[in-house]
Structure 1
Amino acid sequence: MSSAPLKNIIIAGVTGSVGAPILRALPDEPSLTIIILTRASSSAKFPSHIPVKKVSDAFTLEELTAAFTAQDAVIVALSTTPITIDDIAFRLIDAAVAAGVKRFIPSEFGTNNLDLRARKLVLRKAKESEGGLTWTSFSCAFNPAKSGNFLGIDVKGRKATIWDSGKSKFTVTTSSNTGLAVVHALLSPAESANKQVFLSDFVTSSWEIWAIEEKASKPVMKEPRKKFDEGDYNAVYILLALSFVGDVNVGYDFEKEQLVWNQKLGLPKVALDEVVKEAIELVKSS
């Protein structure tokens, strides 16, 4: 397997909660050359010093292949809904293979939830390329300070909901460390090749953060689960939120599983009180 440096990087989805911190971290590494991939219809504003390549909203295989040509790595940070529509995820992988991309980072940021269909395709494409294409997936949980009312914690309204026992442990990774982890993994291509990278700044529970109102998650999950099964992929957000804090063992305690890469990637340590302080400051400034 080649350990050649990954220098030319193209990233899609830079305006989102995952893509934005990755984009902030990438330019700090002088050995990397960055390009932003975006839809032609997008009105988003990007840093003037970073080149932008535009494709149609259809994300055709031909357009993506042309955009990925001469790129060493493709980072997909598109949100869950657009990536699942019209098989865009699969066209992104096919385009990376066709363009001769060395490293593919799929839009699987969050939990231990690498899409089995997409993963199977990536694994097959990587095997067929005989080392030409490699992949890295990041399981980083999330940053509650920037997740709105994701955990049922309303800092501004000074209230919170504790689901079930409130003792279920889950991993928290700040957005800044997520961005750094992607950069450091790109700088260590051999070590991070074909690996699922687990990140964890700390592990906590709802009770350790704030306890006011208690609810059972099972009855609440029925409706969004029904919507998701019927094809409403926006329902995945409430399902993910409840699976973090409810009494559901879905493998979000990465430290317990001894999977964490933070030290290996040289990430700075972050504590719960720092994230809580950041959340309060964000609310005050909003």
Structure 2
Amino acid sequence: MTAQILDGKATAAAIKSDLTARVAALKEKGITPGLGTVLVGEDPGSQKYVAGKHRDCAQVGIASIQRELPATATQEEIEAVVRELNEDPDCTGYIVQLPLPKGIDENRILELMDPEKDADGLHPMNLGRLVLNEPAPLPCTPNGVLTLLRRYGVETKGAEVVVVGRGVTIGRSMPLLLTRRSENATVTQCHTGTRDLAYHLKRADIVVSAAGAPHLIRADDIKPGAAVLDVGVSRNAEGKIVGDVHPDVAEVAGWISPNPGGVGPMTRAQLLVNVVEAAERRAG
């Protein structure tokens, strides 16, 4: 068996095509969606990631609002930029690029954000709304995973799903999305305290791994025909960036997301979706 590729690049391109039409319709009403980014410091990875977001914006017609601060910026200076974007009518949604420099209280920064402008879907209030099953911007990566599964017809209703990892960005919110009535999956969450990871993996119809452990998951861990989505990013002993899933899993799985090229493009696409949906809510 060779797994079908869950192509995040192609799916993201289709989403962008749809968003381009929706943005054009908003502009006819006099509304131009705007994505703001707050970048503190000169980390090359963060700079590259933010630049990619603004390229995506240009492709679909979303305006870019960029705020850059030096690594020496104080808590007060960063908070001032957040308050500015909260009040800026041209900013439909925005993100604060993490991590922030040492000594900065990230949680305090995130809590200052206007929840209605939370493009990442990670504001504490919006995560609380997700727990309560109330409307809110959805976390980009978990929602990207679901969109990719739907695109390829991978059924979640009644499925046994294992989520590996418990970080806020993916691990905490992924089970919340999967257990909604619209998805109706049964979820097991595994982490560093899980005694026998392979036992749980072998029972799973769908595996979403966000552990950040190089090639943690191998072919003999996976049930034949399962869908495997690799969200992890780490470096192996040679310093090469790799995912959580070993390449040999593709010989056993029914579907597999490549890394890179799987969930990553979907995360960026869902960020744009959150911005456009916020603009559409404003338009009524």
TM-score range, shorter chain: 0.3 to 0.5
If the length of structure 1 is used for normalisation, what is the TM-score? 0.34
If the length of structure 2 is used for normalisation, what is the TM-score? 0.34
Which structure would you say has the larger RCO, counting Cα contacts within 8 Å and 6 or more residues apart? 2
